């Protein structure tokens, strides 16, 4: 689980918690919704940032994998919000970064 400090344009901020699988789900939604910006027709036109794929690993390696993903996830989030407004302000991105009821009682691990 990754802890994200979200600061909105009105300067309010909140802490949210997201699993890697939720980042991956968002990525798939964006690539489906924006095929040109996702580089499906022409890879040179891709502006949607890359996100490392899912990894199958043993339970004992969960923490190591999570730590290795910290920087790519941070870079992904920063790149995502710098995209043109039709992507960075689309419903999928807003919903991903909005606080959810489960963010009030975050996971212990």
Give this prediction's pTM.
0.82
DSSP letter for each residue of 36-91: TTTTSS-GGG--SPP-PPP----GGGHHHHHHHHHHHHHHHHHHHHTS-HHHHTSH
- For 27-42, write each residue's pLDDT tens digit: 999 999 999 999 998 9
Using alpha carbons, select from 94, 91, 84, 97 the residue that is nearest to residue 37: 84
Range of 78's domain? Answer: 2-104
Burial class (CB in 10 A: 0-12, 13-18, 19+), 6: middle
- For 73-98, write each residue's pLDDT tens digit: 999 999 999 999 999 999 999 999 99
pLDDT score at 86: 97
Look at residue 63 and tell me if it is in a domain.
yes
Indicate if the pLDDT at residue 105 is higher than 80: no
CATH number reported for the structural domain that contains residue 45 in this entry: 3.30.1520.10
Look at residue 44 and tell me if it is in a domain.
yes
């Amino acid at each position: 689980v990754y802890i994200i400090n979200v600061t909105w344009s009105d300067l309010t901020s909140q802490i949210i918690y997201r699993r890697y699988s939720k980042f991956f789900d968002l990525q798939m939604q964006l690539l489906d919704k924006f095929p040109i910006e996702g580089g499906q027709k022409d890879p040179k036109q891709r502006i949607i940032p890359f996100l490392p794929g899912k990894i199958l690993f043993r339970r004992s390696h969960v923490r190591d994998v999570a730590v290795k993903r910290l920087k790519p996830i941070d870079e992904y989030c920063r790149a995502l919000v710098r995209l043109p407004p039709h992507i960075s302000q689309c419903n999928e991105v807003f919903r991903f970064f909005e606080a959810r009821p489960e963010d009030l009682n975050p996971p212990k691990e």
